[in-house]
Structure 1
Amino acid sequence: MAQGHMERTLLNVDPIAKLTDDILVDIISRVPYKSTCCCKCVSTRWRDLFSHRDHRRKLPQPLAGFFHESYCKNRFPRTVRYFHNVSGEGDPLVDPALSFLPRYDSIDILDCCNGLLLCRCWKTTDPKTMDYVVCNPATGRWVVVPATEWSSRVEVARLGFEPTVSSHFHLFEFINEEVWGIDQSKRSLDCYGRIETLAIYSSKEEVWKHHCLDRFMFAIPKNSKGGFLNGILHLATADDFIVAVDVEGNDWWLIDVPVQPHYDYPRDDAIFVSQRQLYLTNRTAGSDGSELSVWALEDYDNGKWTLKHTVGHLERFGALYSSFPRYFSVISFHPERNMIFIVYGQDNRLMSYDMDCRKVCLICQLGNDCKIRRDRTSFFRPYVPLFLDSLADGH
């Protein structure tokens, strides 16, 4: 009787206790992952909601790890894909071979966006032809997107997807002058690799639309880092600005980025999305690029960046690597924390750096065949699982 009286009293005092589990999970699923971590500590009931397998499909998930590739000319196959857990421990949480997909001669991961992967899949029947495949490794669902006549030669293709907005996705193909077929004598002399046309595919309309970019002058490096936020794709260009375009291809922004003085090496800007904000990382302070700065885009319309963090080389890595001040690459931001991930040193160590407590943590050593170079950085794709069946008309 005493226990029943206590439960009735709790229901009268706490209106949240009157909510069913399904309603409570739906509410929690709408807040950022960082806040959901705090929710686990509210009560035993709330903690159990997170561990229930049915509810895990609705709640935001933490960063699981990174896809990456290594290359060695003395083995077969020469290129191998891996998945490293963010903890640096245990078996891979995701099958890097993506064995749930149909059989293809080879598969290249081009982009990862909010739990979905964009893959370029070369056919076994004709190695010169390919499909785009968008897939969800957490559920094993996938959908084939028809390639354009330029797809096999396009170097920059990206994915746009926001599961809180729609189950549909968009593909972006940035087609340069050479791939588009412009005669060499008529190509731009001031902008090598200039993007001539943008093709956008909508999974809702199931059609490609092409947009001529005659009024723009920019090139995008093959491994340009970027992010998709609020229906807009952002990519770092080869110059001192980033390019942003909406999913319809109608609205464009060319946003200047902070230019640091006394930096004698080619720019190495990287664009990331974290905590619903756009961030930029670049090298600063001195001709050796030994310091790293982190900027946040505070005013989108006016292109105003705010310096959020600066960290020196010795503070990041210590004296052990002091002879390699430029041998590092920022590969990702944590989606819900003030943390960046870096690959550093000749032994290619994957590290995290917490900007709040200024703490470096070694995750794992990737090996010498994971090359991090200025001209061709081995791709890294951060992966956050998505347990919703969010692929419209997928398999």
Structure 2
Amino acid sequence: MDTILLQRSEWIRNQISNGIKNGVDRSSTLCKKKRKGTTATSVWCEGNKKTQPKQATSLISALPEELLVEILSRLPPKPFFRCRSVCKYWLSLSSEAFGRNKHLQPTVCGLFHNYYYKGDSFAAFSYMSSGSNKVEGGDGIISALPCLNAMKVLDCCNGLVLLSALSRRQPFMKVIYVYNPATQSLSALEPLSTLKNNDHFFPIFSLAFDSRAPSQLHLLCFTRFTKEDVMLDWFDIFSFEEGKCKRKHGKELAPDMIVNRYSKGTFLDGRVHRLTTQKKILSIDPNNCSYEVIRLPDLENLTLVEIGQSQGLLNCMTVCDNRILGIWVLKSYSRQEWTMKYQLSLHQIYSVPWLHLNVVDICRRIKYRDNFAFHPQKDVLFMPLGLSGLLIFDLSSSKREELYNLGGFELFGCWVYMPFYSI
């Protein structure tokens, strides 16, 4: 295909040069033919008459679409998005080139995490070295944000980060932001801009963002209330499209579907997955405000459960009383069939003698501090290590990296970040 495109472009180049030598302006003829078929290309040609040579302009106009797509697919992110804004014709071509462009494919860039320091909470970012699992300190992405008080990461989904911070005008109110670190764009989500600064009333959020539809995102808001002496959960869905917010009718969950406040949400296949305190998985479709329940693997003496997504599948991590850690993969939603992918002991992961392995502390930091994450592209786990560290463990090779002092006194919550350049 590449050879054919190059031969065709070379033929066009020869035709134009032969026409100039023979006194025939074939470039204008080719440009006129292109004007009849595609108006956007002619707009680009006419808009650049003063600055571009006629021969170069008409040559670009005469290139076949396949070759233009191939050129766009090889551009780095910044030139690629500049070309998108040239005209409508190039914008339409860039949609196909986006999928081919290796520079724009989401790859892991680092970790977002929260930490405590002198009683206050802070959000931080650590860079991940390319080609390895090693993470280096540095919060340049966070420091590029405006000065926000008590900023904290709430969720991270497909390159967008959900943040909360104290309001500057009202000190006891919180503001909810969505932030794209790749483009450094920050926007407050209305009407969710102000909420009470109280953990009991402060709702739980899950961000639902599909990179294939960048103009739309959903925010799920879980609220807890008491009804006839029974604790219940309620969820609302706020859909944002082109800056406009549409609130969909909420839905009351069953009494046995209390959302686990300490576990992160997982967005996969257009659905938000949340773990419940009854050790079930709540799967919500934000488009039609419906939900279904997914059963967890049937295990006895189960002490710890966490969910996440890796390699396009829903993953589940379980720890039993015998200190055996299992990694399960849900390969069939309809039949709800879980397949065991890995099984090993915590002793193998931490490489610590049994007598010195504090299993209770490890489970507590995963369960209540959420110091755990799945790698979205590899069979790699991020596990807690002391108060302010993480252990990166490769399940396929049993290799490990120890990361200490990620932030301040105590680490809580970690999200693996993959950049998204479009918005």
Name the TM tier (shorter chain). 0.7 to 0.9
Distance 1:132 1:255 in 2: 30
Q: State the Cα RMSD in Å.
A: 3.2
Correspondences of 1:69-148 after superposition (within 5 Å): 69-72=114-117, 75=118, 78-87=120-129, 88=134, 90=136, 92=138, 94-97=140-143, 99-101=144-146, 103-148=147-192
Tell me if 1:54 matches 2:79.
yes
Flag the structure with more relative contact order, 1 or 2, with Cα contacts below 8 A and sequence separation at least 6: 1
* Conservation of the 8 A alpha-carbon contact between 1:347 and 1:368: no
Distance 2:151 2:80 in 1: 32
Q: What is residue 161 of structure 1 aligned with on the other side?
A: 209
Correspondences of 1:336-355 after superposition (within 5 Å): 336-344=377-385, 346=386, 348-355=388-395
Correspondences of 1:335-374 after superposition (within 5 Å): 335-344=376-385, 346=386, 348-366=388-406, 369-371=409-411
Q: Any unmatched runs of 5+ in structure 1?
A: 1-6, 27-48, 372-377, 390-395
Q: What is residue 198 of structure 1 aligned with on the other side?
A: 235
**1:23 maps to amino acid:** E
CA gap of 1:12–1:116, structure 2 versus 1, over 3 A, is: same
Tell me if 1:318 matches 2:351.
yes
CA shift for structure 1 position 350: 1.5
Distance 2:124 2:377 in 1: 24
Distance 2:123 2:139 in 1: 14
Q: What is residue 41 of structure 2 aligned with on the other side?
A: none
Distance 1:309 1:145 in 2: 40
Correspondences of 1:1-395 after superposition (within 5 Å): 11=6, 20=67, 22-23=69-70, 26=73, 49=74, 53-55=78-80, 58=98, 59-72=104-117, 75=118, 78-87=120-129, 88=134, 90=136, 92=138, 94-97=140-143, 99-101=144-146, 103-148=147-192, 151-152=195-196, 153-178=201-226, 182=227, 186-188=228-230, 192=231, 194-195=232-233, 197-204=234-241, 206-213=245-252, 215=254, 217-263=256-302, 265=303, 268-284=304-320, 286=322, 290-319=323-352, 322-328=356-362, 329=366, 331-344=372-385, 346=386, 348-366=388-406, 369-371=409-411, 378-389=412-423
**1:233 maps to amino acid:** V
CA gap of 1:335–1:69, structure 2 versus 1, over 3 A, is: same
Q: What is residue 393 of structure 1 aligned with on the other side?
A: none
What TM-score, normalized by structure 1, do the two folds share?
Answer: 0.73
- Runs of 4+ with >6 A deviation: 7-10
Richer in helix (by share): 2
Q: Helix, strand or coil: the match of 2:349?
A: helix
Q: Any unmatched runs of 5+ in structure 2?
A: 9-64, 83-97, 99-103
Q: What is residue 30 of structure 2 aligned with on the other side?
A: none
Larger radius of gyration: 2
Distance 2:254 2:353 in 1: 49
CA shift for structure 1 position 115: 0.7
CA gap of 1:308–1:96, structure 2 versus 1, over 3 A, is: same
* Conservation of the 8 A alpha-carbon contact between 2:175 and 2:194: no
Q: Identity percentage over the alignment?
A: 21
